[in-house]
Amino acid sequence: MSNSLVYTHFFSWVQDFKELTKFRLALSVVFSSIAGYLLGVDEFHFGNLVLLAVGGYAMVGASNAFNQIIEKDLDAKMKRTRNRPIPSGSMTVNTAFAIASILTVVGLSLLFVINPITAMFGAISIFLYVSVYTPLKTMTPLSVFVGAFPGAIPFMLGWVAATGSFGIEAGTLFMIQFFWQFPHFWSLGWWLYEDYKEGGFFMLPTGKRDKGTAVQIILYTIWTLIVSVIPVLGVTGELRLSIVSAGLIFVFGLVMLYYAIQLYKNRETKHARQLMLASVSYITLIQIIYVLDKYIRIWL
């Protein structure tokens, strides 16, 4: 076999692996975990940070791989997913299952090296995502509520990895990402409504792109904004936030709320897409602000 052919096969395999594990989504999860770790750590250990990053990616990658195995027939029906490795035929179910199983073992083992409680939450995340959330997606809109639990673990997981314990600080980080997921996923479900419908997925709370869904999106956006600034009150233990940082987060939250209100007023797909993109920017920016706020206060 020529070198060029070997390179082509390798590149194709890497692309399939990235698609199977949802590379960009997994990286965002790793980013959240690292942010949580930096918030919780007193004495920085680079080795633990690497273990968290690699273990976190493996954990999320395993969840996504198992998800695609279960939903392979449904993925084949949707434009957005029909070119994924399994429905497109570029990867067999057995290969995907082997990858998912290896990632599960590797991910949980690396998280266990950090501390057992981190591995425990990693295992809970995989179980809820694969065994509960994935089957419910074709049964009830409540799947989003169930999926919000494993989806909210990464930010909190970083704190647990840094401290070895779960307290009000980790709980607050969990709640921030928990409430955030509703406007995020419902705006995504609104935007890709027709495609999800082809796959038989129930993503919106009322099942429709209607006023009821839009109202709930606004309410959960407000809850996200409130929970995100609670640490400024000094009631969340070691997790603190300065007034300046809380103000910045509040402003970013108002931007997301603006797009949620626009969706309510117009109920157009473009506004749902704008809200979805705003929500992605929001969670990334507030995590950066939280980390910068901690270390600026330390340096000052």
Which of 148, 166, 184 is where one domain is finished?
Answer: 166
pLDDT tens digit string along 132-177?
Answer: 999 998 888 888 899 999 999 999 999 999 999 999 999 999 999 9
Q: What CATH number does the domain containing 14 carry?
A: 1.10.357.140
Q: Can you give the residue range of the structural domain that contains 186?
A: 167-300
Q: For the chain, what's the residue count?
A: 300
Least confident of 67-71, 203-207, 259-263, 270-274: 203-207
Q: Measuring CA to CA, which residue among 58, 264, 285 is closest to residue 176?
A: 285
Which of 147, 166, 185 is where one domain is finished?
Answer: 166
Report d(CA 124, CA 143) in Å as an integer.
16
Identify whether residues 179 and 287 lie together within a single domain.
yes
DSSP for 59-75, please give it.
HHHHHHHHHHHHTHHHH
Report d(CA 268, CA 94) in Å as an integer.
41
Identify whether residues 243 and 162 lie together within a single domain.
no
Residues 255, 257, 260, 266, CA torsion sign: negative
Identify whether residues 149 and 272 lie together within a single domain.
no
Identify whether residues 119 and 63 lie together within a single domain.
yes
On whether the pTM is more than 0.85, the answer is yes
Q: What are phi and psi of 246, to 5 degrees?
A: -60, -40
**Cα-to-chain-centroid distance, residue 222:** 19
How many domains is the chain built from? 2
pLDDT tens digit string along 235-251?
Answer: 999 999 999 999 999 99
Which of 150, 166, 182 is where one domain is finished?
Answer: 166
Identify whether residues 210 and 257 lie together within a single domain.
yes
Does residue 1 form part of some domain?
Answer: no
Residue 89: which region, alpha, beta or left (left: phi > 0; alpha: psi -120 to 50)? left
**Tokens at residue 112, please?**
């266990």
Identify whether residues 138 and 236 lie together within a single domain.
no
Does residue 294 form part of some domain?
Answer: yes
Q: Measuring CA to CA, which residue among 250, 190, 246 is closest to residue 215?
A: 190
